[in-house]
Structure formats: structure tokens, C-alpha cells
């Protein structure tokens, strides 16, 4: 325990109360891993830091719990997730308080994040009775050919700071109903939210009489996370974060023939066509680009506006940006909270400098605000930058609020520009021309995992599979068929013919 546990500030008080309400024993939380709130820069509560031996032991416990959990009928596994979902619902406000304190989201967005956890728990409960395999006609008489989905083993979940709890729940609710056990390495910035979420799952596990080891929480840094990645007992590593992280994780897991599910960086674009409803486009663009202070993987970063409406729309976006309330996200009316840390602020400033050098003009925002009131917190007004074309800096994901605006004349040209970046997560078109919308959604259109019409790039629902292509990593999480990533298919042939006909008409003995 460290003296950080005695720190008393209003934020730390809120955090302490929220942790206790979620059943966390504060006497076991304390440790050297300091979590500072991006809202004020003040320290919250220090969390423990796991050692290499702790990581090894946690994976061992998850591996040991696997056979009993695998053999528990899937609908019963679903009952555990149902209870977890109820507890998440009961503690929605407490969890949202922790998310706001640790990563600076507005309470509305923090509640939305917790709601995603509740939604995926609902989906997973239904899924627990629908782990369907197929039956295929066999070419051999008196044979049955079928595919059965089996649990995979231990799933390692590595999560990013900007969706500190929802992405864990996307993975864990499904992995648990699929019969897997889970080891979670949360983001360093969000260890307290993780402790609370894990405590609620522990409560559900204990009430359901499920094996205790099925969920493990690792409070460690990127180095500790590497140990998890390299551990051959971890069948699937589901990693959410930057492309840089994915470049390290993917080869390390492949070297031991493990599986990965990668949800990496995005560089999301939207096209505004001449026929677009500009009122709707304006709201869609501003929420997607400035919401969550530009710190969503699906944040809109590139806007391609038809030259006939470019001046009009850009002026309105600039005016909207200038009126956005930036500040302490807990205050009424504030829409843009802080950047997560100084590094993010410096990355934003570097990107703006590069954009200027590459011919861009900053039309709004980009400056630090509230530095006097909060010298250790980093508030910036989201920036709008007019670019003459899609230069090198526009190809990069800068994880801060910068919207690059470019113009186009021909839709084919706009789609080509849109697809000309290395990432492929989310995309959108604003148009009332159905032909244009269909073209954007076709295989010759957006090359992203998510393609929207008359909606911005962010704010996905959990029912659809979530993820992206190219450097975004190709993984899919949450709804649709994403559950299959957490299971292994077994192709089974049963011969009840009393003969031994061989496939492809082969004859032997
Ligand atoms: P990050 O890559 O710095 O860290 C993500 C997680 O990976 C953290 O828990 C970190 O400790 C861990 N990590 C880092 N290097 C590692 C390594 N070599 N081996 C194992 N673990 C390692 O990302 P961040 O700053 O926390 O989050 C922002 C990034 O995440 C952005 O690029 C954003 O687009 C991306 N993101 C993507 C999605 C998606 O679904 N595609 C969702 C959320 C965030």
C-alpha cells in the first residue's frame, strides 16, 4: 500500500466511492502504479503492478479452469454472463464515474460505453444457445458430415485506453459463453475501471458457482503484456490498440502458431456529396470528428467535400468547432474533455506543424486551453485543417482531434482518395443520391470494415461485427459471426453404412 491511498481530492473521493460500490476492497487496490486523471492531472489511487511471476500464475489459473468451464453447457455459461450484465446495469453509474475520472470521457459518453457492455452481455446470453455448426451433405452413402464449434482455451485480451471497459466486455462476454477463460491486460491509464469491472465479474462467478479461475486481471505495462502474448498457453490474443502495438503482437503470436484478433488504428474518412443534407452532415461530422476529443478508433479524421458545397460546409464546421464547449467533462454542457496525456497533446501539435509544412491551413482550433487552471491536464480545441491534397501527415492516425478537409469533383476520385491510406476501419458518405450511396457501399467502394450512409464514422452498435481491414488488423468483435473467433471448428464425419467407401471415389483395400 502507498500513501496515494490517503490522497483526498474530490475526484479521488468519487473514484474511491465508485470502487467500493462495485465491491472492490480498497485495502488490496493500493500499489505503485499511479493513475492520474486527465481531467486535472491529479493522482487518483495507485494500483498494484503485477510481476512476471504473477502473469505466469494468472495464465496458469486460467488454463487450469478451462476444462471445467469448457465442459459446462453453453446455456449455463450464458447464465453467468446474464448475471454479469445485471451487475453492470446496477453499477452503470459507478463504472461511468470511473471511466470519466480515468480517461476523461463526458459522463454521457462514459455511460454509453458501459451500456455497450450491457448490450454485449445481452447478445452473448442469446448467443449461448446459438453456437450453431452446419450439417453438410456427404458424398458418401450412409455418412453424416457436420461441423461442431468447440471452446478454444485461454483468451488473452489486451485493451486500449480509449474504450477501457467496453472492448474487454465485447471479448469477454462472447469468450465466456463460448467456453473460454480470459486473462485481461487493461490499458495502463484505466486500471481502476478494470478492477471494478473485474470485481463485478468475480461476484457473478461466485454466485453462479463457476470456476474462479475463468477470469484473470493483469495489472501490468506493455512489457508484462508481451509475456502474455508470448505464452503458449494463450490460444487467442485479442489485442486492441495502435498499429505499432499490432506490429509487435502479431508476429510474436504467429511465431508460436497462436491466433490473433487485432483491432488496430483507424484513419477514418467521410465523403460529403453535392446532394447531401448539409444540416445532417454537419452534425454527423462534428460528433464523429470532435466527440470523445478525437480519441475514438472510429473518429473522423479525413473529410472529402464536393467542391460545390465545400465552402458552405467548411464554414459551418469551423463555426461549430469554435462554439464547442471544451473543459472538465463533468461540467454541464461540456462536449470535449481532455486529451489522455501530454504525449497526445504533443502528437497533436507535431501533426499540426507537419500539416502546415505540407500546405495545410488551420481553420479552427488546435490550441491548448485551460492551461492556467489545469497545468497538468491537456485540453485542446479540436482542429479543422484545410489540406490541398492528401499529404503524408493525412495518411497517419494522430490520436487527437484533427479533421483534415479536402475537396473533390468526381466521386470515383473521392473514393480512390478515401481508400488510399494504410488503415481501413470506418467510413461514411453523406448523400441523398441512392446511386452514390450504393457505389460507396459496393465492393468497388469503401475498403473499410465499416461503411455508413448518412451517419458519421463513429458510434457503432454491438449487433454488427466491428473491425477493419489493412493495417487495422482484420479482426471482428461483438456481433454477427464474431463469436467464431473464440471457438475452433471440428469437422466430423460419421459412417453408419457398415461399408467403407472412400471420398473422391478412391479405392484401396
Ligand atoms: P497502444 O497501442 O499504446 O496500447 C494498447 C494496449 O496494448 C495497452 O494495453 C498497452 O499496454 C498494450 N501494448 C502496447 N505495446 C504492446 C506490446 N508490444 N505487446 C503487448 N501489449 C502491448 O494504444 P492506446 O494508446 O492505448 O490506444 C489508442 C489506439 O488504439 C489508437 O491507435 C486507436 O485507433 C486504437 N484502437 C482501436 C480500436 C479498434 O477497435 N480498431 C479500438 C480502440 C482503440
Please give the mean pLDDT across all residues of the chain: 96
Which residue's CA lies nearest to atom 12 of ligand 1?
A: 222
Q: Separation of 160 CA from ligand 1 center, angstroms? A: 4
DSSP 178-241: TT-EEEEE--GGGHHHHHHHHHHHHHHHHHHT--GGGEEE----HHHHHHHHH-TTEEEEEEES
* Any atom of ligand 1 within 6 Å of the Cβ of 102: no
Which residue's CA lies nearest to atom 13 of ligand 1?
A: 222
Q: Is the pLDDT of residue 2 over 60?
A: no
* Any atom of ligand 1 within 6 Å of the Cβ of 166: no
Structure confidence by residue, pLDDT tens digits, 357-377: 999 999 999 999 999 999 999
Stretch 242-271: mean pLDDT: 98
Radius of gyration of the chain from its Cα atoms, rounded to whole angstroms = 24
Q: Separation of 159 CA from ligand 1 center, angstroms? A: 6
* pLDDT (0 to 100) of residue 479: 96
* pLDDT (0 to 100) of residue 5: 41
Residues 6 or more apart whose CB falls under 8 angstroms from that of 255 comprise: none
* Any atom of ligand 1 within 6 Å of the Cβ of 131: no
CATH of domain 3-264+473-490: 3.40.605.10
* pLDDT (0 to 100) of residue 35: 79
User: What are the cell numbers at 23?
Assistant: 465491491
* Any atom of ligand 1 within 6 Å of the Cβ of 265: yes
Mutate to test the pocket of ligand 1, among 164, 183, 241 (most ligand atoms within 8 A of CB): 241
Q: Separation of 220 CA from ligand 1 center, angstroms? A: 14
Site of grid cell 462514459: 110
Q: What percent of the chain has pLDDT over 90?
A: 94
In ligand 1, which atom is closest to the CA atom of 265? 34
In ligand 1, which atom is closest to the CA atom of 248? 18
Burial of 5 (0-12, 13-18, 19+ CB in 10 A): middle
Which residue's CA lies nearest to atom 23 of ligand 1?
A: 241
Question: Could you tell me which residue, 12 or 489, shows the higher pLDDT?
Answer: 489
Quote the CA–CA distance of 393 and 396 in Å, as a whole number. 5
In ligand 1, which atom is closest to the CA atom of 425? 41
* pLDDT (0 to 100) of residue 29: 81
Q: Is the pLDDT of residue 423 over 70?
A: yes
Q: Is the pLDDT of residue 27 over 50?
A: yes
User: Three-state SS for 399?
Assistant: coil
Q: Is the pLDDT of residue 477 over 50?
A: yes
* Any atom of ligand 1 within 6 Å of the Cβ of 44: no
* pLDDT (0 to 100) of residue 9: 66
Q: Separation of 245 CA from ligand 1 center, angstroms? A: 6
Quote the CA–CA distance of 336 and 295 in Å, as a whole number. 10
How far from 130 is each of 74, 81, 174, 481, CA to CA, in Å? 9, 15, 12, 11
How far from 60 is each of 153, 206, 270, 361, CA to CA, in Å? 12, 20, 46, 55
Which residue's CA lies nearest to atom 41 of ligand 1?
A: 263
Which residue's CA lies nearest to atom 40 of ligand 1?
A: 263
Q: Separation of 306 CA from ligand 1 center, angstroms? A: 34
CATH of domain 268-462: 3.40.309.10
- CATH 3.40.309.10 maps onto the chain at 268-462
* Any atom of ligand 1 within 6 Å of the Cβ of 425: yes
Q: Separation of 240 CA from ligand 1 center, angstroms? A: 5
Structure confidence by residue, pLDDT tens digits, 163-213: 999 999 999 999 999 999 999 999 999 999 999 999 999 999 999 999 999
Q: Is the pLDDT of residue 145 over 50?
A: yes
> Roughly what angle, to the nearest 10 degrees, separates helices 222-230 and 52-70?
40
* Any atom of ligand 1 within 6 Å of the Cβ of 229: yes
Q: Is the pLDDT of residue 353 over 70?
A: yes
Residues recognised as catalytic: 263, 297
- CATH 3.40.605.10 maps onto the chain at 3-264+473-490
Which residue's CA lies nearest to atom 42 of ligand 1?
A: 297
Amino acid at each position: 500500500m502507498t500513501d496515494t491511498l490517503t490522497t483526498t481530492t474530490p475526484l479521488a473521493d468519487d473514484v474511491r466511492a465508485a470502487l467500493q460500490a462495485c465491491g472492490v476492497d480498497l485495502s488490496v487496490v493500493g500499489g505503485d502504479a499511479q493513475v492520474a486523471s486527465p481531467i486535472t492531472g491529479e493522482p487518483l489511487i495507485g494500483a498494484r503492478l503485477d510481476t512476471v511471476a504473477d502473469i505466469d500464475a494468472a495464465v496458469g489459473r486460467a488454463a487450469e479452469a478451462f476444462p471445467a468451464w469448457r465442459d459446462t453447457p453453453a446455456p449455463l455459461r450464458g447464465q453467468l454472463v446474464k448475471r454479469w450484465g445485471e451487475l453492470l446495469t446496477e453499477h452503470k453509474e459507478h463504472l461511468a464515474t470511473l471511466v470519466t475520472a480515468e480517461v476523461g470521457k463526458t459522463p454521457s459518453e462514459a455511460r454509453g460505453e458501459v451500456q455497450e457492455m450491457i448490450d454485449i452481455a445481452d447478445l452473448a446470453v442469446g448467443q449461448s444457445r446459438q453456437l450453431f455448426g452446419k450439417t453438410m451433405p456427404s458424398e458418401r452413402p450412409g455418412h453424416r458430415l457436420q461441423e461442431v464449434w468447440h471452446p478454444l482455451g485461454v483468451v488473452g485480451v489486451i485493451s486500449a485506453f480509449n474504450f477501457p471497459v467496453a472492448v474487454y466486455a465485447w471479448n469477454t462476454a462472447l469468450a465466456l459463453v463460448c467456453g473460454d477463460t480470459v486473462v485481461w491486460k487493461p490499458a495502463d491509464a484505466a486500471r481502476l475501471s478494470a478492477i471494478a469491472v473485474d470485481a463485478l465479474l468475480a461476484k457473478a462467478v461466485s454466485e453462479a458457482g463457476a470456476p474462479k479461475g475463468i477470469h484473470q486481471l493483469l495489472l501490468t505495462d506493455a512489457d508484462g503484456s508481451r509475456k502474455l502474448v508470448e505464452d503458449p498457453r494463450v490460444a487467442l490474443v485479442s489485442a486492441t490498440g495502435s498499429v505499432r502495438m499490432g506490429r509487435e503482437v502479431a508476429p510474436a503470436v504467429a511465431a508460436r502458431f497462436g491466433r490473433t484478433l487485432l483491432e488496430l488504428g483507424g484513419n477514418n474518412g467521410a465523403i460529403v456529396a453535392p446532394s447531401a443534407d448539409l444540416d445532417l452532415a454537419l452534425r454527423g461530422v462534428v460528433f464523429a470528428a470532435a466527440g470523445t476529443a478525437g480519441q475514438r478508433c472510429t473518429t473522423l479524421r479525413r473529410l472529402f467535400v464536393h467542391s460545390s458545397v465545400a465552402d458552405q460546409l467548411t464554414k459551418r464546421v469551423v463555426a461549430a468547432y469554435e462554439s464547442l464547449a471544451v473543459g472538465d467533462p463533468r461540467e454541464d454542457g461540456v462536449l470535449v474533455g481532455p486529451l489522455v496525456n501530454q504525449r497526445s497533446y504533443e502528437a497533436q501539435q507535431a501533426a499540426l506543424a507537419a500539416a502546415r509544412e505540407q500546405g495545410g491551413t488551420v481553420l479552427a482550433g488546435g490550441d491548448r486551453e485551460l492551461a492556467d487552471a489545469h497545468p497538468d491536464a491537456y485540453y485542446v480545441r479540436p482542429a479543422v485543417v484545410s489540406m490541398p491534397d492528401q499529404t503524408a501527415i493525412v495518411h497517419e492516425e494522430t490520436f487527437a482531434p484533427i479533421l483534415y478537409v479536402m475537396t473533390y469533383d468526381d466521386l470515383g476520385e473521392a473514393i480512390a482518395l478515401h481508400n488510399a491510406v494504410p488503415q481501413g476501419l470506418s467510413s461514411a458518405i453523406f448523400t441523398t443520391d441512392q446511386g452514390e450511396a450504393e457505389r460507396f457501399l459496393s465492393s468497388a467502394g469503401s475498403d473499410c470494415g465499416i461503411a455508413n450512409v448518412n451517419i458519421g464514422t463513429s458510434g457503432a452498435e454491438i449487433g454488427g461485427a466491428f473491425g477493419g481491414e489493412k493495417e487495422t488488423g482484420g479482426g471482428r468483435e461483438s456481433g454477427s459471426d464474431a463469436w467464431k473467433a473464440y471457438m475452433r471448428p471440428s469437422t466430423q464425419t460419421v459412417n453408419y453404412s457398415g461399408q467403407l467407401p472412400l471420398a473422391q471415389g478412391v479405392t484401396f483395400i
